[in-house]
Amino acid sequence: MYPNLLVKRSSLTPNRIALRFNEKTWTFEQLSNEANKFAEKLYTKGIRSGMRISILAASDPQLVIAIHGCMQLGCELVMLNERLTDEELRYQLQDSKTDYLLVDCVEKRNLTYPNRLSFEEIKLVEQTTFKIEKEWPKNRTITIMYTSGTTGNPKGVRQSLENHVMNATGSALNLGVQPNDCWLCTVPLFHISGFSILMRSVLYGMTVNLHIKFDAEDVVEEIISGTVTRMSVVAVTLERIISVLEERNVSFPNTFQSMLVGGGPVPLNYLERAIQRNIPVLQTYGMTETASQTTTLSSEDAIRKLGSAGKPLFFADVRIDGEDQIGEICIKGPHVTNGYVGAAELNNPLVDGWLHTGDIGYIDEEGYLFVVDRRSDLIISGGENIYPAEVEQALAKHPTVKEVGVVGKQDDKWGQVPVAFVVLKEEVSEEELRAFMKTEMASYKQPVAYHFMEQLPRNASNKLMRRELFKCEQNLK
């Protein structure tokens, strides 16, 4: 058993600032009170412990309160990605067997659901007191986050209380915890990167300075002012921050402790420029199935170990599975998920306690992990994971499309972007396919280019040979 996180934190440091948004602040005691009030209103509506609650909302203080409120009730939270289309969201709602859908405003989307409540509606409800648990079981599911699978169907990953607590503890042992720590959060709270910051906050007694979205100018202002000490970004947002500093000819103050960068290796050019601007970059490797970080590269090793994701955190183990030096990355530890929900529920992610990630990499003689491929066919665009099979399935729904293959091409801004190779049943314009895909998938998943072919390259087993499509893309440049 672990203590009720917010109850314990508010009793230890009730007057410490938990959350800052624009000019408003909430202490841990105030946050706890607001969360309890929200929970009591949900209780009035019939929501009970063990129910599965999906939340679709912007990353603002009301979402933080709603998250903690649902946790006080003992609910399992399905964190929905705001960038997804209605069709993608419907799949996740149905697959997770969601009991209630919470949205931040009545006008949110045209997404209907039997038990749908807006934050405004909840505010009007009377409070009904209930007994708040002082202890929570370690194996209790706190969150469910959907991550694309290699088959193209998103998988709902269970993240337990122990997963979140041990990941945050491992991170604390690596980074250290200071009394004045303040994490600048510009990443979405529905992502594991954002949600893990909330978990660290209640465990460390740390302030979260919350922004609804990333803005490089605002980030630079915040950090230069000395109010924040840490931040999580991806390579593309790191570069935007560096560019603003260069335009202003300023550097970060020594009060800023660490910039965690995930979503793929950081180019040497970025690291060199970051050092010149006094940005302590820490490259990381993790996934939804590991409740955030598994390995982290220290800033002093950033140049010496270019391309490395660092060493495992204290409670994590990493090994390479394969006969050669390079093989599949496998992860073990209390931060690793025990399984999935919905259609993927019968898929056990662990083999003898090890998570087989599908990522390919190697560990050098000093114990540093290098990720060679983020899954063989995975496209990483601005830190977002895009599986070609998922895009292919969506595009294949169009009546004129016979078959389709999707690969990633290099992009200076986003790292990679998807490109589609299409075999048609009958003639159709690229513009029509683009319009169709806007209704099917989030904007970042949509192909930036369409190439029409007579047939797709396949092997003797009739499997699509993506390497040949990569060659086609190179020849089309």
CA distance 421 to 473: 9
For residue 33, what pLDDT band results from cuts at 50, 70 and 90? very high
* List of domains in the chain: 2-136 (3.40.50.980), 169-373 (3.40.50.12780), 379-475 (3.30.300.30)
Q: How many CB atoms lie within 10 A of CB 149?
A: 18
CA distance 140 to 40: 21
Cα-Cα-Cα-Cα torsion 210, 212, 218, 222, nearest 10 degrees, comes to 0
- 68's tokens: 């903690």
- Give the ranges where 323-403 is alpha helix by DSSP (H): 388-395
* Per-residue pLDDT tens over the stretch 254-294: 999 999 998 766 777 788 889 999 999 999 999 999 999 99
Contact between residue 449 and residue 403 where contact means Cβ atoms under 8 Å apart: no
Helix (H) or strand (E) holding 219: helix 216-224
What is the predicted pLDDT for the residue at 106? 83
Mean per-residue pLDDT, 242-246: 94
Single out the residue of 121, 52, 64 nearest to residue 92, CA to CA: 52
Say if residue 461's pLDDT is above 50: no
Query: Which residue has better confidence, 461 or 199?
Result: 199
| Residue 310, SS3 per DSSP | strand
* Per-residue pLDDT tens over the stretch 69-84: 999 999 999 999 998 8
- 108's tokens: 């949110």
* Per-residue pLDDT tens over the stretch 405-436: 899 988 888 989 999 999 898 999 999 999 99
Residue 22, exposed/middle/buried by CB under 10 A (0-12, 13-18, 19+)? exposed
Query: Which residue has better confidence, 302 or 64?
Result: 64
Say if residue 476's pLDDT is above 60: yes
Q: Which residues of 226-247 are buried (b: 16+ CB within 10 A; e: fewer)?
A: eebbbbbbbbbbbbbbbebbee
User: How many CA atoms, within 13 angstroms, populate the side-chain half-sphere of residue 268?
Assistant: 4
CA distance 27 to 201: 12
What is the predicted pLDDT for the residue at 269? 75
Q: Which of 85-89, 207-211, 319-323, 361-365 has the lowest mean pLDDT?
A: 319-323
What is the predicted pLDDT for the residue at 326? 80
Mean per-residue pLDDT, 333-345: 96
Say if residue 356's pLDDT is above 60: yes
- 213's tokens: 């979205």
Residue 410, exposed/middle/buried by CB under 10 A (0-12, 13-18, 19+)? exposed
Say if residue 472's pLDDT is above 90: no
Contacts of 27 (CB under 8 A, 6+ apart): 14, 15, 16, 17, 18
What is the predicted pLDDT for the residue at 115? 95
Query: Which residue has better confidence, 245 or 298?
Result: 245
CA distance 392 to 404: 6
Mean per-residue pLDDT, 383-402: 84
197: left (phi over 0), alpha (psi -120 to 50) or beta: alpha
CA distance 442 to 84: 5
CA distance 370 to 274: 21
For residue 447, what pLDDT band results from cuts at 50, 70 and 90? very high
Contact between residue 453 and residue 421 where contact means Cβ atoms under 8 Å apart: yes
Contact between residue 445 and residue 392 where contact means Cβ atoms under 8 Å apart: no
| Residue 388, SS3 per DSSP | helix
* Per-residue pLDDT tens over the stretch 182-196: 999 999 999 999 999
Percent of the chain with pLDDT over 70: 95
Say if residue 376's pLDDT is above 80: no
